[in-house]
Structures are given as C-alpha cells and as structure tokens.
Structure 1
Amino acid sequence: MNLWLAIGAVAVLSFTCKAFGPALLGGRALPPRARSVIALTAPALLAGFVVVDVLGHRWSGTDLTLVAGLGVVPLLVLRRAPLPVTLVAAVAVTALLRL
C-alpha cells in the first residue's frame, strides 16, 4: 500500500511542477538542460521506489526470481522490443524460474 501512495505522491508532484512551471515563468522557456532534468525526475523516483519495494527492507526479503525477471526488461528495451513483448518476457522468466 505504501508503494502506491508513493507513486501517487510522485504523480501529483510531477503534475504540480509541470502545471505551475509555465504559470510562474510566464512566456519564458526553460533551458534545455532544465527541461531534461524535470522530465526525468518522475521516472527516476518511480524506478527507485520499485527497486526498494522489490529488494525488500535492507534487501533481506529479496526474491531472486523477481529480480531476474526485472533484469530481462532493460535487455529487451535496449534491443528496442515492444513494451508488451518486454512485459510478457519478464513475467515468463519469473514464472519459469519459480517452477
């Protein structure tokens, strides 16, 4: 439940930043570097929350099958596989290792 609250908080914070930014800056545009940092903040925080949730408290509750399934995702993303294929492959690897 805490993970979903954190995801919701990150989503609200990201929306708030994106909504109030133009209002505070008026017609001025942000520098490209600032725009790229703002765009990557929410995904980076979400990835951190997922890693902490998967690895457990102080990494004592680590499920290696789940870690292996998640390890397939970056490999397929780098090979430009479609998202549904990536998700099915991650689930399949996790399920096969749990047999």
Structure 2
Amino acid sequence: MSVWVAVVTGGIGCYLLKLAGLSVPEKVLDHPVAARVADHIPVALLAALVAVQVFADGPTLVVDARLAGLAVAVLLLVLRAPFLVVVFGAALAAALLRLVT
C-alpha cells in the first residue's frame, strides 16, 4: 500500500509543480537572468546524467569502455557529425574496446 501512496503523492506533487510554473508572472520569465538560467539548466542536467551513466556502476566509480565511447562521441560532436553518426560511433567504440579487453 505504501508504494501507491508514494505514486499518488508523486503525481500530485508533479501536477502542483507544473501548476506553479504556469502561474509565474510573465515579467519574471522575461527577466534576462531567469532566461539565462532556464537555458542552462537542461544542459547541466544532461551533463550530470551522462557523467553518472559513464562513471558509475552502482555505488562505485569505474573507468571502462563507456569512457572511450564518450570520448568518441565528443570528438564526433566537435567535428559536427550528424546525431546518428555520433551515437553509432560511440557505441561502436565502446563495443570494440569491450571486445578487445
């Protein structure tokens, strides 16, 4: 039963958070600092997610083939490769390194 309480509470909390965001006055959203922060939050969250997925294995920090895949992805992004090329290149690099080691 406690799982359902958590699910319902989480759903209500998400709805209230969305409602709070929609009720923010327009002049607050037009402020340059708020616009800059709103532009950078998704980038920071994505970077944190990538770091956790690359360097964490449960509660421990690891360096393995995922780091090579990330390095290839960064290189391909710097070279302005298409998104699918970046994804497949990173996956191929990680797979080949796992095959070799």
Q: Which TM-score bucket, shorter chain as reference?
A: 0.5 to 0.7
Task: Calculate the aligned-residue CA RMSD, in Å.
Answer: 2.6
Aligned to 1:89: 89
- Rate the CA distance shift 1:80–1:33 in 2: closer, same or farther, 3 A: farther
Aligned to 1:6: none
Aligned to 1:48: 48
Unaligned runs of 5+ in 1: 1-11
Alignment of 1:33-44 (within 5 A): 33-44=33-44
Pairwise CA distance, 1:58 = 4.0
Per the normalisation by structure 2, the TM-score is 0.63
Pairwise CA distance, 1:42 = 2.3
- Rate the CA distance shift 1:93–1:39 in 2: closer, same or farther, 3 A: same
Unaligned runs of 5+ in 2: 1-13
The structure having more radius of gyration, on CA atoms, is 2
Identity %: 33
| C-alpha distance in 1 between matches for 2:33 and 2:79 | 27
Moved beyond 4 Å, runs of 4+: none
Alignment of 1:11-90 (within 5 A): 16=18, 20=21, 23-26=23-26, 28=27, 29-56=29-56, 57-59=59-61, 62-90=62-90
